[in-house]
Structure 1
Amino acid sequence: MQNILNISAYKFVPIPDAADLRDLLQAKATELELKGSILVAEEGLNLFVAGPEAAVRDFVAVLHADSRFADLEPKESWSERQPFRKMLVKVKREIIRMNHPAIRPAEGRAPAVPPATVKRWLDQGHDDEGRPVVTLDTRNAFEVDYGTFEGAIDWRITKFSEFPDALQAHKADLEGKTVVSFCTGGIRCEKAAIYMQDAGLDHVYQLEGGILKYFEETGGAHYKGDCFVFDGREALAPDLTARSNGNSARAAEDKHLANKLRKSQ
């Protein structure tokens, strides 16, 4: 029985009281016996939390009571087992590291396109103005290897902070096209889309809610493979069921790399 509710969410919003918020969330998560990871920074909040449904919904209610997170809509999936080993709540410089402090989504995000629209564009082979559409994977190379959109651009980056240099090297390839940046849940492609706009690309969007929201709303059309997730489930299929193979050498290597990347953020 899948009785563990997994949620993920992020929001770029000014949090000048990051340390106080960390203490509050750590105390509440501990009280509810939840596990996962939460990053708090001056630029926003990024969380992955799992536990029994009632406890998770109580935790979300605490977030919603804060006006800054009243509109937070976590993405949900279910699992038979708790995918995290402990609860970590940390204050970081960025909730997703890019090393470009001028990129501040809380001050104005790039246009977002819903999953249904992306599917329609990919179905017809162009956007609504007849412009060719390309999907740009902003994830790390080992994540892409689990699955990605058909024909997606993949620059084989090993960490998100390499994205700006990769764009500068390949910017000309994107000129004159509609670019849909995407990632697991939306946080990386949001920063990536803003950076591309600032770099002078005119038709740039972020996939609203990332791959997981796309799976939820479209069933994964035009997507090949699974989506790597940073927890014990390893990867999710387009129907949002776990495709874990924890005994495989590849899984062990990827989880080790994922943990290193998370600690470096």
Structure 2
Amino acid sequence: MSYQVLLYYCYTPIENPEQFRDEHHRLCLDLDLRGRIIVAAEGLNGTVSGTREACAGYMAAVKADPRFAALEFKIDEVEAHTFQKLHVRLKDEIVHSSLRHVRPHEKTGQHLTPQEFKELKDRDDVVVVDVRSDYEYNLGRFKNAVTLDIENFRDFPDRVERLQEFKDKKILTYCTGGVKCEKASAFLLEQGFENVYQLHGGIIKYGHEVGGEDFDGQCYVFDGRVAVDVNTVNPTVISRCHHCQQPSPRLINCANPHCNAHLPLCESCGELLAGACSEACAAHPDKRPYDGTGTYPKISNHYTPAQGLASYRG
């Protein structure tokens, strides 16, 4: 395969994030990378796709900056771009939360390698906690993981009370690539949990390094692939079609933009309902045309650094 997808993040202070965003955007344009990158005063978070050569150039350029010396790239091989556009956005946080005071680069949960996580996860004195959103863990999650009924990561602080019964255990958090765990584990420490750990590199690295053992279902990813297999040891499908309830790993957005529910829908039901989650949504006058994918990429606003929109926040 001649293309790659890079998944990465780094919590590190960026003094002038607007200037950095513009410079970073130019770098990506020069390399013909596509994807979603978030820049904030607290760091960098992104997923991009490009040719092997372009990705190699990008990784070298990022790692040449001392601020990102600790950054690790998770790399997947793909056949073509997994994004249609490039977005480099300036935000208040690199992952949307209600924990802006938390500084993971100063204090966070202890990092576990995938092998260490695998060896610890089934012990009696351990509880494994999924800090992702419900549509993500409904598609795939670790066996016996505790889920927290989260629609968005900003809900996490309000769900921590549910973990009080496990306060005497080791808390092992995990997410897709690690960025959410950095803040989640730091917040747990702040709330008085003493033995807090996180799966370093997330589910993706766990799949790469130890075969994804005991991760049931598929892993949701934030690019055109939507979901990827990570378990090559004991794979299974846990999600069921929203309409017919048959096992299906196929995730879609409802074609009715006023609903836009993110849920599993098998190919047969997708055709039957024209990409909608229900007959009511299928009949809605604003329903989007269904092309069989069930994904509706956002249209680029065509911002480029050359426009000099210093106040643009994407």
Quick check: TM above 0.5?
A: yes
> Which residue number in structure 2 is paired with residue 14 of structure 1?
13
Say which structure, 1 or 2, has more relative contact order (CA 8 Å, 6+ apart).
1
Tell me, yes or no, if the aligned pair for 2:215 and 2:231 is still in contact at 8 Å: no
With normalisation by structure 1, the TM-score equals 0.87
Query: Is the counterpart of residue 194 in structure 1 residue 186 in structure 2?
Result: yes
Gapped regions of structure 2 (runs ≥ 5): 238-248, 255-261, 263-293, 299-313
Q: Which residue of 2 aligns with 1:166?
A: 159
Partner SS, residue 105 of structure 2: helix
- 1:1-265 counterparts in 2 under 5 A? 2-122=1-121, 125-126=122-123, 132-168=125-161, 170-238=162-230, 250-253=251-254, 254=262
Contact 2:108 2:189 (8 Å CA) reproduced? no
Measure, in 2, the Cα distance between the counterparts of 1:159 and 1:212. 20
Aligned residues: 247
Any gaps of 5 or more consecutive residues in structure 1?
260-264
Partner of 1:262: none
Report the equivalent of 2:308.
Answer: none
Relative to total residues, which structure has the larger helix share, 1 or 2?
Answer: 1
Structure 1 113/258 Cα, relative in aligned 2: closer, same or farther at 3 Å? farther
> What letter matches 1:64 in structure 2?
K
Q: How far apart are the structure 1 equivalents of 2:75 and 2:14?
A: 24
| Greater mean alpha carbon deviation, residues 203-212 or residues 99-108 | 99-108
Given that residues 216 and 239 in structure 1 are in contact (C-alpha distance below 8 angstroms), is that contact kept between their aligned partners in structure 2? no
Q: Which amino acid aligns with 1:251?
A: I
| Separation of aligned partners in 2, 1:223 and 1:63 | 31
* 1:107 match: secondary structure: coil
Encode CA deviations 1:191-244: one digit per residue, 9 max, x unaligned. Answer: 10010110001111111111001111110112111100011101110169xx9x
Greater C-alpha radius of gyration: 2
Alpha-carbon distance, 1:65 to partner:
1.8
Task: Pick which of 103-112 and 34-43 moved more.
Answer: 103-112
Q: Give per-residue Cα distances to partners, 1:38-67, cap 9 Å, x unaligned.
A: 101000100111110001111111112211
Q: Give me the CA root mean square deviation.
A: 2.3
Offset at residue 257 of structure 1 (A): 9.8
Q: CA deviation at 1:33?
A: 0.9
Structure 1 residue 171: deviation in Å?
A: 3.0
Check the 8 A contact 2:111/2:200 in 1, yes or no. Answer: yes
Using the TM superposition, give the Cα deviation of residue 72 of structure 1 relative to its aligned residue in structure 2, in angstroms: 2.1
**Residue type at the aligned position of 2:252:** A
SS of aligned partner of 2:75: strand
Pair 257,180 (structure 1): closer, same or farther in 2 beyond 3 Å: farther
Shift of 1:173: 2.1
Mapped contact 2:4–2:52 kept (Cα < 8 A): yes
| Secondary structure of residue in 1 paired with 2:18 | helix
- Percent identical among aligned pairs is 33
What is the CA distance between 1:73 and its match in structure 2? 1.9
Mapped to 1, the partners of 2:168 and 2:35 lie a distance apart of 41
